[in-house]
């Protein structure tokens, strides 16, 4: 009996230790990625995994969910995962049933984090075969492997931060916004701006909205906006001293683990300064620690007569994309006309790409689809770069860029993956 009691206590201690580590999951879908497939005998996909300031990378695991074609030869099909261009894991592709999904667990390390501390570059290479004859496998549609966007990071949080977010990045860590129950026009304006910033994250998670009262003892983890006098007293106690006419933006961490991002002011003038700060593109993309006291915050209006608005792929949350392999290599970019604050009369998709020169006898094409409709195609023969404008216009759009490489029979003796790097993507 004593032995059983000791084992029970040991089990409870171990369970408590696991719970205390505070695991959080962050899926590829939440980072804005779709299911991505590698088609053909070989190819590669690159990801940039977002790292948040309080992530303890040394105790974080990468969980990959991979679905291979059921007809692949196990002895000739492999997948390799590289982090920061360093191979860290290789395994054979095995599928036993229609719904067979392989799970790969990779412990992470802070040496894999990029120099800016914000991303981990992950590259997945696959080499696949269905037969002993490469010529038959090159264009075989049955040769594929899919990396599911349900793959995720199993993150453990820590108290210290590894880098400082911008104001926009800090807000984007939340998924809810709360306004006073007796909200006025300023409260609604502030809540709407925060909601719009949260929707720009690119993930598919829902953004929650709620109301709070001055008498509330807890509001949970949320973005909280309202005049200082409307805030619950326990939140007021966490704020620094500031004057009438000043706005305050503060990231509050409570002892119970709740995070509250507060947007407030002692009076209406100061509150509006804090609100207007959220509409200033340069300020919200600048460095932010925990507190910002706003002395001046002029409103930022959308000028209908200004020059064309230009957003780079990076500003929309994208990264340069590398596509390698043989066959049709695809990458998707999703955007909304809401990014422009108005419906433009003309929308131009500007694409710049660098690519390796095709071998003699090979064929290569660059196709651009808008909402699954082909809108542009060009031959890549004798080209090492591409620079072009493509006119698009639709309220909510998804652009798909496809790099197609067809190899000649004379090239099969020395197959070298060709690649296309999308260096810059802007909308005008």
In a domain, 82, yes or no: yes
- Compute the distance between CA of residue 249 and CA of residue 261 in angstroms, rounded to an integer: 7
Which of 230, 263, 294 is a domain's end point?
A: 294
Share of the chain above pLDDT 70, in %: 68
What HEC string does 214-248 produce? CCCCCCCCEEEECCHHHCCHHHHCCCCCCCCCCEE
In a domain, 4, yes or no: no
> Residue 117 is part of a domain; what is its CATH number?
2.60.120.260
**Nearest by Cα to 190 from 299, 276, 267:** 276
pLDDT of residue 68: 94
- What mean pLDDT do residues 303-326 have? 58
Structurally, how many domains does the chain consist of?
3
- What mean pLDDT do residues 306-332 have? 61
> Residue 256 is part of a domain; what is its CATH number?
3.30.379.10
Among the ranges given (91-95, 262-266, 356-360), the one the predictor scored with the smallest mean pLDDT? 356-360
- Compute the distance between CA of residue 265 and CA of residue 278 in angstroms, rounded to an integer: 14
Which of 160, 192, 220 is a domain's end point?
A: 160
Three-class SS state of 155: strand
In a domain, 250, yes or no: yes
What confidence tier does 418 reach under pLDDT thresholds 50, 70, 90? very low
The yes-or-no verdict on residue 385 having pLDDT over 50 is yes
What confidence tier does 419 reach under pLDDT thresholds 50, 70, 90? very low
- For the chain, the average pLDDT equals 76
State whether 246 and 329 are in the same domain.
no
The yes-or-no verdict on residue 401 having pLDDT over 70 is no
pLDDT of residue 338: 54
State whether 271 and 330 are in the same domain.
no
State whether 191 and 78 are in the same domain.
no
Query: What residues contact 236, with CB distance under 8 A and at least 6 apart?
Result: 228
The yes-or-no verdict on residue 119 having pLDDT over 90 is no
Question: Which secondary structure element, helix H or strand E, spans residue 352, and what is its range?
Answer: strand 347-355
State whether 328 and 351 are in the same domain.
yes
State whether 69 and 97 are in the same domain.
yes
pLDDT of residue 422: 43
State whether 205 and 125 are in the same domain.
no
The yes-or-no verdict on residue 357 having pLDDT over 60 is yes
Which of 134, 160, 186 is a domain's end point?
A: 160
State whether 31 and 136 are in the same domain.
yes
Q: State the residue range of the domain holding 330.
A: 307-428
Q: What is the DSSP letter of 163?
A: S
Q: How far apart are the first and last CA of the chain?
A: 75
- Compute the distance between CA of residue 368 and CA of residue 335 in angstroms, rounded to an integer: 15
In a domain, 302, yes or no: no
In a domain, 19, yes or no: no
CB-neighbour burial class of residue 406 (10 A; exposed 0-12, middle 13-18, buried 19+): middle
**Nearest by Cα to 394 from 423, 426, 427:** 427
State whether 257 and 350 are in the same domain.
no
Are the CB atoms for 267 and 274 separated by under 8 Å? no
Range ranked top by mean pLDDT from 15-29, 298-312, 369-383: 369-383
State whether 43 and 154 are in the same domain.
yes
- What mean pLDDT do residues 58-82 have? 93
In a domain, 3, yes or no: no
The yes-or-no verdict on residue 303 having pLDDT over 60 is no
b vs e for 90-128, b when ≥16 Cβ sit within 10 Å of the residue's Cβ? Answer: eeebebeeeeeebebebebeeebbeeeebbbbbbbbbbb
State whether 399 and 375 are in the same domain.
yes
In a domain, 386, yes or no: yes
- Compute the distance between CA of residue 148 and CA of residue 72 in angstroms, rounded to an integer: 18
Q: What are phi and psi of 180, to 5 degrees?
A: -65, 155
Query: What residues contact 352, with CB distance under 8 A and at least 6 apart?
Result: 385, 386, 387, 422, 423, 424, 425
Supply 293's token pair: 């006291």
pLDDT of residue 124: 92
Supply 83's token pair: 């982090």
State whether 194 and 107 are in the same domain.
no
Among the ranges given (103-107, 231-235, 312-316, 370-374), the one the predictor scored with the smallest mean pLDDT? 312-316
In a domain, 1, yes or no: no
Q: Tell me the chain's radius of gyration from C-alpha atoms.
A: 25
* More confident: 428 or 269: 269
State whether 416 and 311 are in the same domain.
yes
pLDDT of residue 410: 45
The yes-or-no verdict on residue 158 having pLDDT over 80 is no
pLDDT of residue 85: 86
* More confident: 52 or 382: 52
* More confident: 163 or 128: 128
pLDDT of residue 201: 62
* More confident: 310 or 223: 223
The yes-or-no verdict on residue 90 having pLDDT over 70 is yes
* More confident: 44 or 387: 44
The yes-or-no verdict on residue 284 having pLDDT over 90 is no
Are the CB atoms for 335 and 316 separated by under 8 Å? yes
pLDDT of residue 151: 94
The yes-or-no verdict on residue 202 having pLDDT over 60 is no
């Amino acid at each position: 009996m004593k032995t059983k009691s000791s084992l029970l206590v040991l089990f409870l201690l171990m369970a408590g230790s696991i719970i205390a580590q505070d695991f959080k999951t962050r899926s590829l879908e939440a980072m804005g990625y779709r299911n991505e497939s590698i088609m053909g005998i070989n190819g590669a996909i690159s990801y940039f995994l977002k790292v948040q300031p309080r992530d303890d990378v040394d105790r974080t695991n990468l969980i990959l969910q991979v679905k291979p074609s059921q007809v692949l030869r196990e002895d000739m099909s492999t997948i390799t995962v590289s982090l920061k261009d360093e191979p860290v894991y290789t395994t054979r592709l095995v599928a036993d049933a229609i719904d067979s999904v392989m799970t790969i667990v990779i412990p992470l390390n802070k040496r894999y984090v990029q120099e800016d501390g914000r991303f981990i570059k992950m590259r997945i290479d696959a080499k696949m075969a269905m037969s002993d004859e490469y010529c038959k496998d090159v264009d075989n549609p049955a040769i594929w492997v899919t990396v599911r966007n349900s793959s995720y990071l199993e993150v453990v949080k820590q108290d210290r931060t590894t880098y400082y977010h911008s104001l926009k990045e800090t807000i984007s860590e939340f998924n809810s916004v709360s306004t006073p129950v007796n909200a006025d026009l300023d409260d609604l304006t502030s809540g709407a701006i925060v909601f719009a910033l949260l929707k720009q994250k690119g993930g598919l998670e829902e953004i929650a909205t709620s109301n709070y009262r001055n008498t509330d003892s807890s509001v949970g983890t949320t973005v909280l906006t309202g005049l200082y006098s409307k805030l619950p007293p326990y939140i007021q106690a966490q704020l620094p001293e500031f004057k009438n006419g000043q706005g305050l933006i503060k990231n509050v961490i409570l002892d119970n683990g709740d995070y509250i991002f507060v947007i407030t002011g002692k009076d209406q003038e100061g509150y509006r300064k804090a609100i207007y700060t959220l509409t200033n593109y340069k300020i919200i993309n600048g460095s932010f620690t925990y507190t910002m006291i706003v002395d001046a915050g002029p409103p930022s209006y959308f000028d209908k007569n200004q020059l064309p608005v230009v957003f780079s792929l990076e500003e929309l949350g994208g990264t340069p994309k590398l596509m390698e392999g043989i066959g049709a290599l695809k990458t998707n970019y999703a955007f909304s006309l809401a990014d422009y604050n108005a419906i433009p009369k003309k929308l131009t998709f500007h694409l710049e790409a660098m690519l390796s020169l095709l071998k003699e006898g090979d064929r290569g094409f660059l196709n651009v689809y808008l909402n699954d409709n082909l809108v542009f195609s060009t031959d890549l023969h004798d080209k090492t770069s591409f620079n072009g404008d493509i006119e698009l216009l639709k309220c909510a759009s998804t652009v798909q860029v496809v790099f197609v490489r067809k190899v000649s029979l004379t090239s099969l003796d020395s197959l070298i993956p060709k690649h296309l790097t999308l260096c810059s993507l802007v909308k005008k």
